[in-house]
Structure 1
Amino acid sequence: MSGSNVEETSEQTRGREAEPTARGRGRGKKDTSRDVVANMEARLAKVELAMADTREGVDLIEQGMEKGLEDLREQIQDLREGVLVSQVQPVSHEEFMSFQDKVMSMFANAVSARVMATHEAPRVEVPKPHTFSGKRDAKELDNFLWHMERYFEAIALTDEATKVRTATLYLTDNATLWWRRRFADIERGTCTIDTWDAFKREIKRQFYPEDVAYLARKSLKRLKHTGSIREYVKEFSTLMLEIPNMAEEELLFNFMDNLQSWAEQELRRRGVQDLATAMAVAESLVDYRRGDSSKPKPPSKGNQAKGGGDKRSQGHTSKEGSSKGPSGKDGKGKDKRKEFTPRTNCFLVRWSALGTGLP
């Protein structure tokens, strides 16, 4: 038993001796790993610093290269422009100078023309258009709308609403009453008239007579040359303007067909081919016939007895009457009897011829 105790005591002693040795070894290993890690961290920091320095260097190199490339491009461009200028300059200098002279002369002409237009151009007074009273007449309404459009062009008026307001200022009588009613409808919102086309459509709907062209065609068909040819031409022109879609040939045919035979023959003899020429020739015929009818007729014996002769014959007759009768009235009575006597003789001769059966 003593021996076993001794062995246990020796083992315990060995175990105690062995513990410090193991602990020492573990501490040595930890210290070594710590040193390795520290060395690695130091090396890694150095590598990172080196990489940062390298990156900065690369950036500087890139910036330098970009700047160098830009400078090189500018130098190449300058060189190219210099070469082109040196090649073209001897030829283009004279052309440039001539072109500059032309531009300056054109500019001077434009300035002078503007000055002349500003100082010398007279101011054109635009006449006011005629008013429209609301008469149901196609010609008057068409003329009113046409004059208003020409007035808008003269004053350079382009706004549609302003055109409508301006046109309503030239309405009178029934047309004014009509517009007052339409304006009340506009304020209530029941209708809209804010453009020139809408205004023309509404005013024609109210005042433009229906079947104007149809009625004008009927009147033109019934028109005949019965009185003065000038009146015929005037009436034909009025009816013709109310028929917008009638052909020129048809108008010419109607104009000549409704003339009297002598006028139609004269127009055909002159070979008229259009309506304007036919109207002009017809009016000249009127003037010619009137000129013939206004020529003085040669005085006859009866006219001389009535006092249509010259003063000498009248004086001679009055003298004869005064010598044959007691007063001038008797002389005039004798003159009248002288005028009436041949007619009475003719009547008696005809009566006697009828009574006796002589030829």
Structure 2
Amino acid sequence: MSFQDKVMSMFASVESRMEALAARMDTQDQEIRQELAIYKTTVSARVMATHEAPRVEVPKPHTFSGKRDAKELDNFLWHMERYFEAIALTDEATNVRTATLYLIDNATLWWRRRFADIEKGTCTIDTWDAFKREIKRQFYPEDVAYLARKSMKCLKHMGSIHEYVKEFSMLMLEILNMAEEELLFNFMDNLQSWAEQELRRRGVQDLAKAMVVAKSLVDYRKGDSSKPKLPSKGNQAKGGGDKGSRDYASKEGSNKGPSGKDGKGKDKRKEFTPKTNCFLCDGSHWAWDYPKRKALNAMIEENEQEGDAKVGSLQLLNALKAKPM
């Protein structure tokens, strides 16, 4: 083999190695580009999640003391479930352990006994449904729905509509399997007649609208009852006329007070101020309370007497003129 052939084979070998290296570099470059794209997508998704869902401080749920009250126990379990959703807590066993931290008083004593049974292996409470079942078995009152139905049947609209709607709503929450039509019938049937007629006139077809309309009725009636009632002419006629005439009658009549005894029970009513002045002297009193009324009456009588005398003189003169000479 000549020298030239050796050189050519060496070049061919180097060229093949270079081509293989270039192929490997292309493959690695593609892999790096794919990984970089994945990293970019992950980072952008985290940034978007940070901007779209800001961290909100979740309020702590209320504690449960073990009171045998259906509404209080239902509210406790419902708030705990909302709390788990807010903090994204999905593990069943962790939910149970978290809920037991909010038990106090009698509820704490109950859970200590149940926890001892769990350690002994006599019972298992490792899911949220099992915890709800056990706590309701211990603290949930018996026949809650039955007693609520009886109370709803006996409930009557005796006071304000606001109180009636409040009591009906509380009973309704304790009855889970009552139909909407039956609830509406009970609500309408227990109302007073005037309220039931008004709701039927407005054509309510569901319970929510009936409650809203009922609350508006009580507001309307309260607004009317709070308005002051102005005295009418009929009331004045039935009550004895105008106050000014009563004051005048008390001055011109007897001096007996309201008690009917002389010298006692003086009239303490305020003196009435007339709207118009006296037309005789332009004073701030009625014409019949004119201070010089007696003198005025005397002058009127004197004028009447003078007028009668003048009339008599004229009649005598006419009679003399009529006599024949």
Matches within 5 A, 1:7-18: none
Is the counterpart of residue 173 in structure 1 residue 105 in structure 2? yes
Matches within 5 A, 1:195-206: 195-206=127-138
User: Which residue of structure 2 lines up, in the alignment, with residue 90 of structure 1?
Assistant: none
Change (3 A) 1:190 1:114: closer
- Residue from 199, 205, 210 that aligns with 1:278: 210
Distance 1:292 1:152 in 2: 49
Is the counterpart of residue 226 in structure 1 residue 158 in structure 2? yes
Distance 1:111 1:183 in 2: 44
Cα offset, 1:140, TM superposition: 0.9
User: Which residue of structure 2 lines up, in the alignment, with residue 252 of structure 1?
Assistant: 184
- Residue from 61, 67, 83 that aligns with 1:151: 83
TM-score where L is the length of structure 2: 0.59
Is the counterpart of residue 334 in structure 1 residue 267 in structure 2? yes
- Deviation by residue 1:235-268 (Cα, 9 ceiling, x = unmatched): 0111011110001111111111111000000011
Distance 2:40 2:193 in 1: 68
Letter in 1 for 2:224: D
Structure 1 unaligned regions, length at least 5: 1-103, 302-312, 322-329, 339-359
Change (3 A) 1:216 1:120: closer
Letter in 2 for 1:132: F
- Residue from 101, 121, 128 that aligns with 1:189: 121
Letter in 2 for 1:197: D
Distance 1:180 1:228 in 2: 46
Change (3 A) 1:126 1:337: closer
Distance 1:158 1:120 in 2: 22
User: Which residue of structure 2 lines up, in the alignment, with residue 122 of structure 1?
Assistant: 54
User: Which residue of structure 2 lines up, in the alignment, with residue 239 of structure 1?
Assistant: 171
- Deviation by residue 1:185-232 (Cα, 9 ceiling, x = unmatched): 112222111111111111010001111100000000000111111111
User: Which residue of structure 1 lines up, in the alignment, with residue 24 of structure 2?
Assistant: none
Give the number of the structure whose residues are more often helix, by fraction: 1
* Structure number with bigger Rg: 1
Distance 1:110 1:178 in 2: 48
Change (3 A) 1:162 1:108: closer
TM-score where L is the length of structure 1: 0.53
C-alpha RMSD of matched pairs (Å): 3.4
- Deviation by residue 1:1-50 (Cα, 9 ceiling, x = unmatched): xxxxxxxxxxxxxxxxxxxxxxxxxxxxxxxxxxxxxxxxxxxxxxxxxx
Matches within 5 A, 1:130-145: 130-145=62-77
Change (3 A) 1:169 1:279: same
Cα offset, 1:110, TM superposition: 8.8
Cα offset, 1:113, TM superposition: 6.6
Cα offset, 1:299, TM superposition: 5.5
User: Which residue of structure 1 lines up, in the alignment, with residue 257 of structure 2?
Assistant: none
Distance 2:56 2:224 in 1: 46
Distance 2:150 2:192 in 1: 19
Cα offset, 1:114, TM superposition: 4.5
